[in-house]
Structure 1
Amino acid sequence: MKNVQINISIPETWKSELENLARVYSVEEETTLTYLDLIRRAIKEKYELDSDE
C-alpha cells in the first residue's frame, strides 16, 4: 500500500479531545494510539474503505 500525506485543519478543541480519547483507547487496547490513528480509523469505518495492510 502506498500512503500519501495530507494536511487538514481541525479546531484546537477537537485535537485535545482526540488526544484524550487516544490515551483511553491506548490503555483499553494495550497499544499506542495517536489522535491521527483515531482520525484514520474513523474515516475508514465511516466510508467503509478497504486497507491493504
Structure 2
Amino acid sequence: MYKWAFIFAIIALISAILGFGGVSEVFADIAIIAFVLAIMATVFFAFLGWKAGKNVADKL
C-alpha cells in the first residue's frame, strides 16, 4: 500500500510540473487515500499481532 501511495504521489508531482492540474489533484487524492488506508492497516495488523502474542504468552 505504501508503494502505491508513493507511486501515485510521484505521478501527481510529475503531472503538476507538466501543467495537468486536474489530473494531479486526482492522483494526489488517491495517494492520500492509499496512504491513510496503509496506516490504518498497519495499526490494525499490529494490534492483531499484539493480541495474538499476548494470548500465546498467557498459555506458556
Shorter-chain TM range is 0.3 to 0.5
TM-score by length of 2: 0.36
Higher radius of gyration, 1 or 2:
2
* Structure with greater helix percent: 2
